[in-house]
Amino acid sequence: MNQRSVPAADAINRLIEELNKLPGIGPKSAQRLAFYLLRAPREQASLLADTILTVKQKITLCSTCCNVTDTDPCPICRSDQRDQRMICVVEQPQDILAIEHTGSYRGLYHVLHGAISPTEGIGADDVRIKELTGRLQDGAVYEVILATNTNLEGEQTALYLNQLLSPLGIKVTRLAHGLPFGTELEYADDNTLTRAFEGRHEL
């Protein structure tokens, strides 16, 4: 039996509904995007669809720093131009993009993929802290920079990591200067992030 084709109006509504699920995309924006794609050349729509599928199929996590990558280890971890003695801890992969854009940091990274939040039932075992401590066992790292967000969850995570790492004899610092409470790292401008790295303080 032939599968019934989806009416055009229903197909557009489904597209709007799916776009509306994306972060920061409200109903009106989803509608505009849907009709933009409808008017776009077929090749452009196909390229977008293929690119999304490729990302889902080929992107994985770096086995060292847990950043998203299409090669393992990722380019940052395997670079001999980075300071292997420093690790900057961030909550999400997009935070690395924000920091790299400033050009002010040349060490390594570690992505937690979240932050400790007891109110949401997220504990230390739910983020990639064990992977971080595993990287510190050989004594090669002398400084860990805590670049978690300056909100309640980020501060709780930084406090926990400081208590966990300080007994290891590793210098633990926290970003400062210019990052007001409640700021998410990925939205901070380049100058603010640069000052935050330059003014980081030991915990």
Strand order of the β-sheet with 201-202 is 107-111, 83-90, 143-146, 171-174, 201-202
Half-sphere exposure (Cβ direction) of 46: Cα atoms closer than 13 Å: 3
Q: What is the mean pLDDT of residues 30-36?
A: 95
Mean pLDDT for all residues in the chain: 89
- The span from the CA of 113 to the CA of 169, in Å, is 25
87 pLDDT exceeds 90? yes
Please tell me the predicted confidence (pLDDT) of residue 150.
Answer: 84
Residue-level pLDDT at 194: 73
Q: Residue 2 has what pLDDT?
A: 47
**Predicted pLDDT of residue 1:** 41
pTM as predicted: 0.76
Q: What is the mean pLDDT of residues 184-196?
A: 70
What pLDDT score does 201 carry?
Answer: 67
Q: DSSP H helical segments within 21-41, as ranges? A: 27-39
CATH node for 68-202? 3.40.1360.10
158 neighbors 132 (Cβ within 8 angstroms): no
Mean pLDDT of 121-146: 96
Residue 9 — pLDDT band, cuts 50, 70, 90? confident
In order, the DSSP letters of 97-150 are HHHHHHT---EEEEE-SS--BGGGTB-GGGTTHHHHHHHTTTS---EEEE---S
**What CATH number was assigned to the domain covering residues 8-58?**
1.10.8.420
**Residue boundaries of the structural domains of the chain:** 8-58, 68-202
